[in-house]
Structure 1
Amino acid sequence: MKTIEVTDLPPVNDQSTLLVVGKFDGLHLGHQQLLNAARSARQEGEEISVLGFSDHPLWVLKGDSDYEKALSSFQDRRQLLEQAGVDRYYHVHFTKEYAQLTPEQFVHEHLGQLQISRIIVGEGFKFGRGRNADTDGLSKLCERNGIEVTVIPHVTFNGEKVSSTKIRSLVTNGNMEAAQGLLGRPFEMTGIVEKGEQLGRELGFPTLNLGDIEEYVQPFPGVYLGVVEVHHDSANAHYYSLISAGYRPTVNGKTYKVEAYLLDFSGDLYGKTVTVKYLRFLRGEENFNGLDELVDHMKQDEKNARRILGLANTR
């Protein structure tokens, strides 16, 4: 898949293109439905392209901190789109200046660069200055250029529209099973294993410290059952894990960190790329009365995890 950074007009494209437009944060079930429709509608000689935005408009335009972080990093989105069969990804750097484009400028000047045969958008799509144009407006503007517009209805789950906003709320409240239902896969973070204070190793629970995760929404502070995928040049390795996300009050932690204890693993993962996948919330973060009480709870967490997974206890 070719990735094209768009900071102004996108470059001219001479290949017939079926374009899918959306935010694509998390590539949840709704986004997957758009891409399924694109694959079904694709004709011979057409490329499937996605035009997605770097940041949420509510963060860029209004500074709403609820939308500063994302469900998926830029690299996550690239990988997921490529796996979905996308040929080109136009990564639009959404800025206050970009938000001032009129609907006519967006369609005729920006999309006009791409030799689009068809456009697929989701129900409720709005665009242009002040988000004043909707799917009807898009259809009318595209009709002048002979471009067909297909609008895909909202995907619902238990009668509620699937949205990145809803999933973000579930993650920040620790509702990982519900988030997985709407994403179609576990909520996950990919980063680099950094060297920490090695306190976990001293306590008998060596953990990896996940770095380079600043883009992600922060899960509710607590302990989770999950999976860690270790990326290798050949086949990746997977381990059931206990994930600790939060501020570590028992050891006077000040910053939010994500650590993972891999069940039945020993070795050194420093510098490795790993993906931490959250399956289930076990308990909230607590401020224990010293390290002995902390270790007792960590042992109980491991017993609970092994019971849930059907794994033998080793302690």
Structure 2
Amino acid sequence: MKTVWITGNPGNQAFEPSVMALGNFDGVHKGHRQIIEDARKIAAEKGVNLAVMTFDPHPRQVLGAGANYDQQLTPLPIKLEVFEELGVTICYVVQFDTQFASVTAESFVHDFLFRLNAKAIVVGFDYRFGAGGRADANTLKALAEEAGRAVHIVPAVNLYGEKVSSSFIREKLLLGEVKLAAELLGKPYEILGEVVRGEGRGRVLGFPTANIAPLHKFVLPRTGVYLIQCKFADMDEPLSGLMNIGYKPTFNDLENQVTLEAHLFDFSGDLYHKQMKIQFLDFLRSEKKFNSAQELIAQIQADVQEAKRRFESFPR
């Protein structure tokens, strides 16, 4: 996949013809995948590239709207990997800043989409663009079709009576509902991290843990204990285990820094400085403070047994 970075106006250089899927695509969830799949089919019919246009940083981060969008479901490097997996041949990454935010709907269509040689455009039904987000998918359709460019509007993808959306997935992760998040995404929610040195307390307790430093600003699920699966670049098979997201209240009264600790089943070895992709499979329990290390050990033993039992129900 070719990645093209757009800062300011694309200019008059020649771009390869494509069918363009538009959106921020945070999460690349089932709704996003439908947009890209529809674009892929049209691109195949026309014999041109399948392209995606996305924006960096997240528009809401620049405009200061809504929740803390400094944290992403799929930070840009991860998003680009997923696009390539989905068969995208060109990804246009537009720098979203206050100058771009002021571009009119007409200018965006003529000075960006047309100059990038989009022969057809595919968007979700709720797509908005142009200064102040005042233009919608129907506006895009009218502007593009005036110049003979087709616009395909993809209807909502619903699950359990709710529209699949990035904000809905964020909401579910913050409630710890990682199984539902996986259904909305089309695969388990995952983050990328590096194993760093911790306090070594888990090994003393008989349950050695890998302390994880996320490599990007991911949306983290709520504090608690999770069933996870981890993938390493130098290992053929993934490893299953437990992850605690929290403040370690049994040993630390300073609740000011969230930590991520993974205990991997039936594994021994040196993982320091290795990168791992962590998939969240299920939520086991909330984090809580224990009266003693012995109580904590007993709870971890119960957590491991329960996690292994649940892991048997997940597809490999």
TM-score by length of 2: 0.92
Structure 2 counterpart of 1:29, which letter?
K
What's the CA shift for 1:49?
A: 0.8
**CA distance in structure 1 between the partners assigned to 2:227 and 2:156 by the alignment:** 31
**CA distance in structure 2 between the partners assigned to 1:155 and 1:63 by the alignment:** 24
1:52 partner SS: strand
What's the CA shift for 1:62?
A: 2.1
Partner of 2:32: 31
Structure 1 counterpart of 2:31, which letter?
G
What's the CA shift for 1:93?
A: 2.3
Provide structure 1 residue ranges, at least 5 long, that are not aligned to the other structure. Answer: none
Alignment partner of 1:221 out of 210, 220, 223: 223
Asked whether the 8 Å contact 1:192–1:212 carries over to 2, the reply is: yes
Task: Say if 1:152 and 1:265 are closer, same or farther in 2 by CA, change over 3 A.
Answer: same
**CA distance in structure 2 between the partners assigned to 1:69 and 1:214 by the alignment:** 8
What's the CA shift for 1:57?
A: 2.9
Partner of 2:79: 77
Structure 2 counterpart of 1:115, which letter?
N
**CA distance in structure 1 between the partners assigned to 2:215 and 2:110 by the alignment:** 37
Partner of 1:18: 19
Partner of 1:193: 195
Per-residue CA deviations over 1:271-311 (Å, capped at 9, x if unaligned) read: 21211111111000112223222222111111111222359
**CA distance in structure 1 between the partners assigned to 2:292 and 2:14 by the alignment:** 62
Structure 1 counterpart of 2:121, which letter?
I
Q: Which moved more, 1:208-217 or 1:186-195?
A: 208-217
Partner of 2:114: 112
Partner of 1:283: 285
**CA distance in structure 1 between the partners assigned to 2:273 and 2:85 by the alignment:** 25
**CA distance in structure 1 between the partners assigned to 2:46 and 2:110 by the alignment:** 25
Alignment partner of 1:267 out of 255, 261, 269: 269
What's the CA shift for 1:64?
A: 3.8
Structure 2 counterpart of 1:208, which letter?
A
Task: Say if 1:45 and 1:15 are closer, same or farther in 2 by CA, change over 3 A.
Answer: farther
Structure 2 counterpart of 1:243, which letter?
M
**CA distance in structure 2 between the partners assigned to 1:163 and 1:201 by the alignment:** 40
What's the CA shift for 1:114?
A: 0.7
Q: CA RMSD in A?
A: 1.8
Partner of 1:302: 304
Aligned length: 309
**CA distance in structure 1 between the partners assigned to 2:170 and 2:291 by the alignment:** 33
Alignment partner of 2:259 out of 248, 254, 257: 257
Structure 1 counterpart of 2:245, which letter?
A
Partner of 2:245: 245
What's the CA shift for 1:44?
A: 5.2
**CA distance in structure 1 between the partners assigned to 2:309 and 2:145 by the alignment:** 59
Asked if 1:47 is matched to 2:54, the reply is no
Asked if 1:176 is matched to 2:178, the reply is yes
**CA distance in structure 1 between the partners assigned to 2:296 and 2:219 by the alignment:** 26
Asked whether the 8 Å contact 1:195–1:209 carries over to 2, the reply is: yes
Partner of 1:6: 6
**CA distance in structure 2 between the partners assigned to 1:273 and 1:237 by the alignment:** 15
2:250 partner SS: helix
1:113 partner SS: coil
**CA distance in structure 1 between the partners assigned to 2:311 and 2:38 by the alignment:** 37
What's the CA shift for 1:205?
A: 1.2
**CA distance in structure 2 between the partners assigned to 1:126 and 1:310 by the alignment:** 43
Partner of 1:61: 63
Provide structure 2 residue ranges, at least 5 long, that are not aligned to the other structure. Answer: none
1:88-99 aligned within 5 A: 88-99=90-101
**CA distance in structure 2 between the partners assigned to 1:268 and 1:44 by the alignment:** 51
Task: Say if 1:289 and 1:23 are closer, same or farther in 2 by CA, change over 3 A.
Answer: same
**CA distance in structure 2 between the partners assigned to 1:265 and 1:309 by the alignment:** 16
Task: Say if 1:57 and 1:15 are closer, same or farther in 2 by CA, change over 3 A.
Answer: closer
What's the CA shift for 1:256?
A: 1.1
Per-residue CA deviations over 1:220-267 (Å, capped at 9, x if unaligned) read: 1000011111122xx643011101112212221531121211111111
Structure 2 counterpart of 1:245, which letter?
I
Per-residue CA deviations over 1:91-119 (Å, capped at 9, x if unaligned) read: 22222222111101111112232111100
Structure 2 counterpart of 1:5, which letter?
W
